[in-house]
Amino acid sequence: MITITILGNNSALPAHGRLPSSQIVAIRDQHFMVDCGEGTQMQLQKLGMGWGKIEHIFISHLHGDHYFGLIGLVTSMNLLNRALPLNIYGPPELEQILQIQLSIGGGTLNYPLFFHPVANAGEHRILLDTPYYSVSCFPVMHRIPCHGFKFTAKSTGRKIIPEACREYGIPRYFYARLKEGMDYIRKDGEVIRNEWVTAAPQPEPTYAYCADTVFTDSFIPYIQGCHTIYHETTYLKKDEDKAMLRFHSTTHQAAATACSAGAARLLIGHYSSRYEHISEFEAEAKEIFSNTIATQSGDVFTIRYEDVAPPQGI
């Protein structure tokens, strides 16, 4: 299962009670932070979410509304005696920015901080890959280099059918191999075929955070088939010219991207502070893509294994 918690969803300025971009994406007991705008720490406190489970922070680009909260979070972790390593992924210059901020403050961190640069030329690659999840980055098109991030909660292999296993007398220690697809050979030589005692693997929930981007189909191949995508809607459709000029997107454009990507659900945010109310955003996007939700701070969304259609051909 993937759980997405919206901490901040406004564009450049904090306004109308909305804070700049930040989210927590949780898979199993791992909490990933995606962008860290000003006010992120306060939001974590307000929502009762600690940062103890955050080992990886992904920063999409170096506009302040996506990382001005980072140095505060990094130093608060130090003040509160964090020992767990922290990994930060982002544009190469972010490492220098953090080093300057930390060194001028005169403090050294008591916990290990590892920086992983994401190339400014725009790259698509896997940043993290474990048996339980993977995270990749993909380039979007913005005024400065910018990347989105795709999260996958991996299937843990074929699904054991306990009754069938008991019937065929398969010992429990062999279950791990059954999940990998192996047949079981009994002592008398009889082969128990894997498909008799297991079911197809569960489909994998996927989530793509598309960061700040102008309307483009250039990154569709990287997010194709994702169950849920978060796409910025800085502007309503009447302000499409402004969106183009500033390398942002409108409601209709985000919805068109969700259609092209074959998504099941669209989450929108990164609203311009020129709009006090956001109800129109959802209504407009729904004209093109019905399963759209205009996110609010504190919203929580889940993508369960059962929400995802089984892969074809299995």
Catalytic residues: 65
Q: How far apart are CA 146 and CA 295, in angstroms?
A: 22
Greatest CA separation for the chain: 75
CB closer to Zn ion, 82 vs 248: 248
CB closer to Zn ion, 237 vs 246: 246
CB closer to Zn ion, 89 vs 184: 89
Least distance from C-beta 12 to Zn ion, angstroms? 6
Least distance from C-beta 220 to Zn ion, angstroms? 20
CB closer to Zn ion, 133 vs 271: 271
CB closer to Zn ion, 145 vs 205: 145
Q: Among residues 18, 31, 56, 63, which is the contact residue for Zn ion, using CB under 5 A? A: 63
CB closer to Zn ion, 212 vs 239: 212
Least distance from C-beta 62 to Zn ion, angstroms? 8
Task: Establish if 38 lies at the interface with Zn ion (CB under 5 A).
Answer: no
Contact segment (CB under 5 A) with Zn ion among 2-10, 81-89, 168-176, 210-218 equals 210-218
φ, ψ for residue 243, nearest 5 deg: -60, -45
How many CB atoms within 10 Å of residue 300? 11
Please list the residues that pair with 148 across neighbouring strands.
Answer: 138
Contact segment (CB under 5 A) with Zn ion among 62-70, 110-118, 120-128, 185-193 equals 62-70
Q: Are 270 and 249 in contact (CB under 8 A)?
A: no
Least distance from C-beta 63 to Zn ion, angstroms? 3
Query: Which residues 147-206 are close enough to bind Zn ion by CB under 5 A?
Result: none
Least distance from C-beta 184 to Zn ion, angstroms? 54
Least distance from C-beta 247 to Zn ion, angstroms? 8
* DSSP state string for the chain: -EEEEEEE-BSSS-BTTB-BSEEEEEETTEEEEEEE-TTHHHHHHHTT--STTEEEEE---SSGGGTTTHHHHHHHHHHTT--S-EEEEE-THHHHHHHHHHHHTT---SS-EEEEE--TT---EEEEE-SSEEEEEEE---SS--EEEEEEE---SSEE-HHHHHHTT--GGGHHHHHTT--EE-TTS-EE-HHHHEEPPPPPPEEEE--S--S-STTHHHHTT-SEEEEE--B-GGGHHHHHHTT--BHHHHHHHHHHHT-SEEEEE-B-TT-S--HHHHHHHHTT-SSEEE--TT-EEEE-GGGSPPPTT-
Q: Among residues 65, 204, 239, 284, which is the contact residue for Zn ion, using CB under 5 A? A: 65
Task: Establish if 212 lies at the interface with Zn ion (CB under 5 A).
Answer: yes
Query: Which residues 243-282 are close enough to bind Zn ion by CB under 5 A?
Result: none
Contact segment (CB under 5 A) with Zn ion among 26-34, 41-49, 65-73, 99-107 equals 65-73
Contact segment (CB under 5 A) with Zn ion among 119-127, 185-193, 201-209, 211-219 equals 211-219
Number of residues that bind Zn ion (CB under 5 A): 3
Contact segment (CB under 5 A) with Zn ion among 63-71, 88-96, 161-169, 295-303 equals 63-71
Residues that bind Zn ion (CB under 5 A): 63, 65, 212
